[in-house]
Amino acid sequence: MTHLEAAARIAQLTKEINHHNHLYYQESRIEISDFEFDRLLEELVKLEREFPDLLKSDSPSQRVGGTITKEFQTVEHEYRMLSLGNTYTIEELRAFDERVVKGLGRSDYEYFCEMKFDGVAISLVYENGQLVRAVTRGDGNKGDDVTANVKTIRNIPLSIKAANVPTKFEVRGEIFLPIKEFEKINAEKEAKGEAPMANPRNAASGTLKMQDSSVVAKRRLNCYFYQLLGENIGVTKHDEAIHLIESWGFNVSPTYKKATTIDEVLDYIEDWREKRYLLPLDTDGVVLKINDYDQREELGFTAKTPRWAIAYKYKAESAETELLSITYQVGRTGAITPVANLAPVQLAGTTVKRASLHNANEIERLDIHERDFVYVEKGGEIIPKITAVNPVRRKAGAPPIHYITTCPECGTGLVRKEGEAKHYCPNAVGCPPQVLGRIEHFVSKRAMDIDSLGTERIRALIDQGFISSYADIYDLDNKQQELLGLEMSQDQYEREVSGLLYISLEKALFALTEGISYKQIQDFLLENNHLPLRDRLRAFQVQIRSWKKKVPANVGMVDFLLQNLDSHQDLMKVEDYVPVAVVLEIFLGRRVEFDRILEASKKHGTVHTILLDLQLTLPDEINERIKKLKANTFQEGVISNMMEGIFKSKEQHFEKVLFAIGIRNIGENTAVLLAKHFGSIEKLQEATTEELLEINGVGETLVHSIREFFAQPENLEHIARLKAQGLKFEMEERELTQLGNALAGKRILASGKLQNFKRDEIVDFVQAHGGQYISSVSKNLDFIIEGEEMGPSKKEKAQKLGVPLISEEEFLRLVNGYEKT
Ligand SMILES: NC(=O)c1ccc[n+]([C@@H]2O[C@H](COP(=O)([O-])OP(=O)(O)OC[C@H]3O[C@@H](n4cnc5c(N)ncnc54)[C@H](O)[C@@H]3O)[C@@H](O)[C@H]2O)c1
Ligand SMILES: [Zn+2]
């Protein structure tokens, strides 16, 4: 490589690495795996070594990757927080060991092996036994002061009472989100239709940088400690330090081990290669450190890493498998997510059947064709990822995958907003998962608060055609009769391509027989599932005889089923299922022609709705039998409970209704602001852009959302219907004091001139959001809002007392940010 080529490549690598560092540390996101990232960095280091004159002091090879964010106070570290050199190969580990021998001039040293925890580095400073500061690694020299957030982590000791505690010391460790917790949060996010978080590490770093500690407290972050620093701390070896901090109450992972040779280190690495998946957190390797502090000092440091420690990183496991198909999921906000269905393959201790594909760009980038063999990898992410296609195994003539252009749920043409990678279904009012999302929001606690309408019930009502918008909820009152017996779940049904509805064989046999439990039938069918359908039914008759359960009646009913199946042979297409029409014919055959039953079973999704369509009056005995075909059904208690909740919700105040109708970007607090300001939905609808922008916290985006909402005729129709039902679309005469809880428990003072508030307005505003306004500077304050021309003496006092100052803008973001979470 020529000097010129090297210079160009170095510039390119620098740009790329800086980009990934920014994503990783600033935005808690990744676009490439750690392995790919480390390869880029390695290439850069190699080039810089070859062409030393091209090494710049601000090269990413010379700096610790993180940076400082402006939302937090910046604090200088007393001892620099460094990176670790890392390697993915055993050879390089041995080379490291040889360098240690050379550096020390002898080989009587010990290694201390620890797992490399994949979280966020943190430094805690204690003075006189009290936690005084928690700071992120930042750029290694300076970091963000995140003390308030760290204090919410339960197993971090706020004060330490022990005899041997030095007056001042620092401990370092890794903050992480336990995998279980991560999965729980993601499940909740998914249920709300929000984008899930990519992996526990990103989730932990994102959480740690939140502005509102009360939200941080709800996420159960945890921490493992692995370093003690300070003057006169009374230990000379790392293992002693670990035991000491453990005795002071710091959480230490019990996975550490001492080793006297590099071979013992390699054993440790092998030992944990698979076992690490059983740990409660993600780990990405092993760190080995020289145990003795004097020896560490002898070895010293490079610009960004110690020479006495190194990380061995496990390379993400990869496996090859066949792509079977791609499913396109529609989220509750209309976002489309493609998911690859794979031939099952073993990977990192689990069986993988699905992998995420993110978006259309990703499919294009990978150049996936139908039925390709693909490589899947489990990196930092919980859901495995397709990393590449194996072109050698591509089937001749396999067409490339074309991204869908219409919504798989409702058929509407998909759109893609500028600058966004995802496609969306724009049919917010008619697309079933979006309708579900909107109705869930409408009935939620902080909106109309109808808790008797849970997700499963809403889904049942939508699927069976009883509601298709939130306005329909208030018409259910007139349909109570039809709701009786509505099926909650439709798991026992299957629909065949022609549209015909099938029901599971066990449900059918359960309804046709008497005195035999559902469990007995299931067990019998499972044991005999090697037999073809007709033989299985005959065997079942033999079984009924040996059970001696109502033999003539039960055997006779199974005979009916066999006969009916014979006469409708053309309908039998789904394994382990029988056509609903064929079963119903046995019960209803004398009352209605088969063709009508058949037609109805093509139109409807449940036995309940088929029967409503047929409009028959049936004797109780038959009704009881048919009921056994259904899954959980709506009973009178459930219905009256639902109706009561719906009726009561009409009392909800205007601001709740305004929040409930789901205008994009209107959160709970904004709804209150708008309701208070305009007083009625008409006034809001008529408001000019200028009038809207005058309100604190209303920006262009919100104005656009409001316009968009009122431009849709369906929304206007829904509002008209809700109004007719008596919902409140205007403010009542009453004192409005409580706006929200964003500042709950916070003690706040504002100083200097504020842009958005007059003196008494800010007091009201703080109180209305649950905070307490304090009139003088004291150490009890959580923070001070720093206005223009804040008095210097006040400022000095605040800084002395360690009370954080935040700008007015940050303060507003705090209140509004809370609203959005
Ligand atoms: N995929 C991407 O886009 C991307 C971007 C930037 C960085 N990265 C990855 O992140 C890593 C970041 O590098 P880095 O400079 O933060 O160093 P590092 O994470 O490789 O190593 C240093 C850090 O390890 C942590 N650590 C965990 N367990 C430890 C233990 N037992 N003892 C000591 N430290 C322990 C500490 O937080 C320490 O700060 C790189 O290896 C790279 O793979 C990836
Ligand atoms: Zn759709």
CB of 524 within 6 A of ligand 1: the answer is no
410 is in an annotated binding site: yes
Q: Cα 497 to chain center, whole Å?
A: 34
Residue 191 to residue 182: CA distance in whole angstroms: 14
Which residue among 28, 36, 84 has the greatest number of ligand 1 atoms within 8 angstroms of its CB, and so is best to mutate?
84
- Count CB atoms within 10 A of the CB of residue 51: 17
Average pLDDT of span 500-521: 93
pLDDT at position 736: 46
Residue 632 has, within 13 A of its CA and on its CB side, a CA count of: 7
Closest ligand to C-alpha of residue 83 is 1
Q: Cα 587 to chain center, whole Å?
A: 48
Residue 771 CB partners (closer than 8 Å, separation 6+):
742, 743, 744, 745, 746, 747, 748
Express each pLDDT in 150-172 by its tens digit: 998 988 999 998 888 999 999 99
Express each pLDDT in 382-391 by its tens digit: 678 898 999 9
pLDDT at position 512: 94
Q: Looking at the CA of residue 31, tell me the nearest atom of ligand 1.
A: 3
Q: Provide φ and ψ at 326, rounded to 5°.
A: -125, 130
Closest ligand to C-alpha of residue 23 is 1
CB of 359 within 6 A of ligand 1: the answer is no
CB of 204 within 6 A of ligand 1: the answer is no
CB of 248 within 6 A of ligand 1: the answer is no
Residue-by-residue DSSP string for 740-759: -STTTT-EEEEESB-SS--H
Residue 347 CB partners (closer than 8 Å, separation 6+):
317, 318, 319, 376, 377, 378, 384
70 is in an annotated binding site: no
Express each pLDDT in 262-279 by its tens digit: 999 999 999 998 888 889
Residue 262 to residue 259: CA distance in whole angstroms: 7
Express each pLDDT in 690-746 by its tens digit: 889 887 778 888 899 899 899 999 999 999 999 999 999 998 764 546 778 888 888
Which residue among 18, 26, 34 has the greatest number of ligand 1 atoms within 8 angstroms of its CB, and so is best to mutate?
34
CA angle 730, 733, 736 (to 5 degrees): 90
Q: Provide φ and ψ at 716, rounded to 5°.
A: -65, -40
Q: What domains, with CATH codes, occur in the chain?
A: 3-63 (1.10.287.610), 74-313 (3.30.470.30), 316-427 (2.40.50.140), 432-485+635-648 (1.10.150.20), 493-627 (no CATH), 650-724 (1.10.150.20), 747-814 (3.40.50.10190)
Q: Quick one: CA torsion of 805, 810, 811, 812, rounded to 10 degrees?
A: 160
- Interface pTM (ipTM) of the complex? 0.93
Express each pLDDT in 587-642 by its tens digit: 998 899 999 999 999 999 899 999 999 999 999 989 999 999 988 888 889 999 99
Residue 250 to residue 234: CA distance in whole angstroms: 17
| Strand residues in 444-591 grouped as ranges (E) | 493-495, 501-504, 577-579
**Active-site position among 15, 102, 116, 507:** 116
For ligand 1, atom 30, the nearest C-alpha belongs to 116
313 is in an annotated binding site: yes
Which residue among 17, 26, 116 has the greatest number of ligand 1 atoms within 8 angstroms of its CB, and so is best to mutate?
116
Residue 738 to residue 716: CA distance in whole angstroms: 29
Strand 257-259, strand 142-144: pairing? unpaired
Whether pLDDT at 563 is above 90: yes
For ligand 1, atom 43, the nearest C-alpha belongs to 34
Closest ligand to C-alpha of residue 407 is 2
CA dihedral sign, ordered 579, 584, 585, 591: negative
Whether pLDDT at 499 is above 70: yes
pLDDT at position 797: 87
Express each pLDDT in 308-346 by its tens digit: 999 999 887 788 999 999 999 998 888 899 999 999 888
The reply to whether 116 belongs to the active site is yes
Query: What is the SS3 assignment for 488?
Result: coil
CB of 311 within 6 A of ligand 1: the answer is yes
684: confidence class by pLDDT, cuts 50, 70, 90: very high
Q: Which carries the bigger pLDDT value, residue 298 or residue 813?
A: 298
For ligand 1, atom 36, the nearest C-alpha belongs to 121
Q: How far is the CA of 84 from the centre of ligand 1 (A)?
A: 7
CB of 174 within 6 A of ligand 1: the answer is yes
Q: Looking at the CA of residue 65, tell me the nearest atom of ligand 1.
A: 15
Average pLDDT of span 763-791: 84
Express each pLDDT in 19-39 by its tens digit: 888 888 877 777 777 888 888
Residue 631 CB partners (closer than 8 Å, separation 6+):
487, 488, 489, 490, 491, 492
Say if residues 681 and 658 touch (Cβ distance below 8 Å): yes
Cross-strand bridge partners of residue 130: 127, 159
Q: How far is the CA of 118 from the centre of ligand 1 (A)?
A: 7
Strand 747-751, strand 772-773: pairing? parallel
Express each pLDDT in 432-478 by its tens digit: 899 999 999 999 988 999 989 988 899 899 988 899 999 999 999 99
Residue 121 tokens, joined: 């580095």
Q: Which carries the bigger pLDDT value, residue 797 or residue 652?
A: 652
pLDDT at position 378: 77
Closest ligand to C-alpha of residue 434 is 2
263 is in an annotated binding site: no
514 is in an annotated binding site: no
Express each pLDDT in 37-71 by its tens digit: 888 999 999 999 999 999 988 888 888 877 777 67
CB of 20 within 6 A of ligand 1: the answer is yes
- Count CB atoms within 10 A of the CB of residue 172: 19
Residue 536 CB partners (closer than 8 Å, separation 6+):
525, 528, 529
Query: What is the SS3 assignment for 612?
Result: helix
41 is in an annotated binding site: no
The DSSP letter of residue 170 is: E
